[in-house]
């Protein structure tokens, strides 16, 4: 992460980026932090809805508190999915009954909830790319096509691995893999579930874009609506590459490269991406309260 940020800093005007950060509009920054609360709460409700569909309802209050914790951990742990692993593990432990089944359902709910969000986000990104000729005179950045093609290719590879796993994996894992197909139908497709999943996922994707747009506006580089739709999804997609902490470095490099296409300096893209990272961490800080609560409870029992 540090190496990536240093490389970006050498490629742009670092002093200008720091100045933009220090002069960031406080009102817009606070508004961005408020919108982070919306994306976390809606994501928690999507998780709550998914668990209901799988027959293991999760109280909405616990879903929200656990999602805050997971969001915070995703921003500070390598790979960007550590918080989700913690969320699935904690929910599995909280379940009564057969441990294997409890952990299996908890893992399925977390995976399907996050996957629904990724599918919606890639659809939003594809729309933005499709509108690129109408928005910007420059040609698409090199590699954009592969970036958008990667998700369906990855999903296809995962489906193939799951099919092979049902036949070759150890029995507990094979049994869990066999439940994924029926779980997808329950969580996403039957009884109009796709309407709720779709509405929640698209709303959350738009909130992610809005938070980044506010961060850019706060540092003095306001993107137009259409430019935001074309550029921001590409930047956020880089955060899915699990080689950094919270997307830092990759996100900044992408923004520094893309913001000049909208008429701003690369330093503006760097500053906007850094502010977005800070806003995302601050917005998820209520998750730290849960960590402190659990730590205090464990100490009192010791």
Average pLDDT of the residues in 195-216: 95
Q: Is 98 buried (19+), middle (13-18) or exposed (0-12) by CB count in 10 A? A: exposed
Average pLDDT of the residues in 83-88: 87
Do 235 and 223 contact (CB within 8 A), yes or no? no
Q: Which residues contact 173 (CB under 8 A, 6 or more apart)?
A: 165
Cα gap 142→85, rounded to integer Å: 33
Q: Is 50 buried (19+), middle (13-18) or exposed (0-12) by CB count in 10 A? A: buried
138-191 per-position pLDDT tens digit: 555 555 555 555 556 655 665 566 555 566 566 666 565 566 667 778 888 888
Q: How many alpha carbons fall within 13 Å on the CB side of residue 153?
A: 6
247-288 per-position pLDDT tens digit: 778 888 889 888 988 889 989 999 999 999 999 999 999 887
% residues pLDDT > 90 (the chain) = 32
- Over the range 142-175, which residues count as b (16 or more CB within 10 Å of their CB) and which as e? eebeebbeebeeeeeeeeeebeebbeeeeeeeee
Q: What is the largest CA-CA distance in the chain?
A: 64
pLDDT at 244 over 90: no
Q: At which residue do the structure tokens 């439940």 appear? A: 179
Q: What pTM did the predictor assign?
A: 0.83
Cα gap 126→119, rounded to integer Å: 11
């Amino acid at each position: 992460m540090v190496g990536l940020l240093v490389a970006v800093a050498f490629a742009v005007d670092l002093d200008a980026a720091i100045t933009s950060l220090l002069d960031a509009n406080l009102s817009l920054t606070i508004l961005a932090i408020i919108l982070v609360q919306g994306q976390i709460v809606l994501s928690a409700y999507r998780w709550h809805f998914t668990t209901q569909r799988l027959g293991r309802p999760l109280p909405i209050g616990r879903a929200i508190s656990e999602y805050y914790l997971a969001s915070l951990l995703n921003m500070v742990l390598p790979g960007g999915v550590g918080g989700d692993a913690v969320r699935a593990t904690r929910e599995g432990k909280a379940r009564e009954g057969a441990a294997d089944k409890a952990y299996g359902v908890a893992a399925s709910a977390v995976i399907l909830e996050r996957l629904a969000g990724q599918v919606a986000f890639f659809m939003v990104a594809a729309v933005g790319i499709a509108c690129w000729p109408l928005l910007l005179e420059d040609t698409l950045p090199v590699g954009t096509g592969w970036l958008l093609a990667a998700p369906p290719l990855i999903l296809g590879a995962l489906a193939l691995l799951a099919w092979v796993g049902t036949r070759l994996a150890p029995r507990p894992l094979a049994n869990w893999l066999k439940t994924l197909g029926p779980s997808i139908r329950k969580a996403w497709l039957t009884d109009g579930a796709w309407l709720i999943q779709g509405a929640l996922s698209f709303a959350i994707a738009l909130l992610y874009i809005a938070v980044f747009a506010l961060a850019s506006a706060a540092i003095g580089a306001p993107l137009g609506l259409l430019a935001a739709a074309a550029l921001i999804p590409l930047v956020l997609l880089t955060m899915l590459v699990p080689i950094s902490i919270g997307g830092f470095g990759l996100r900044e490099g992408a923004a520094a490269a893309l913001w000049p296409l909208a008429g701003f300096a690369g330093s503006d893209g760097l500053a906007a991406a850094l502010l977005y990272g800070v806003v995302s961490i601050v917005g998820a800080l209520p998750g730290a309260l849960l960590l402190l609560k659990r730590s205090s409870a464990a100490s009192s029992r010791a």
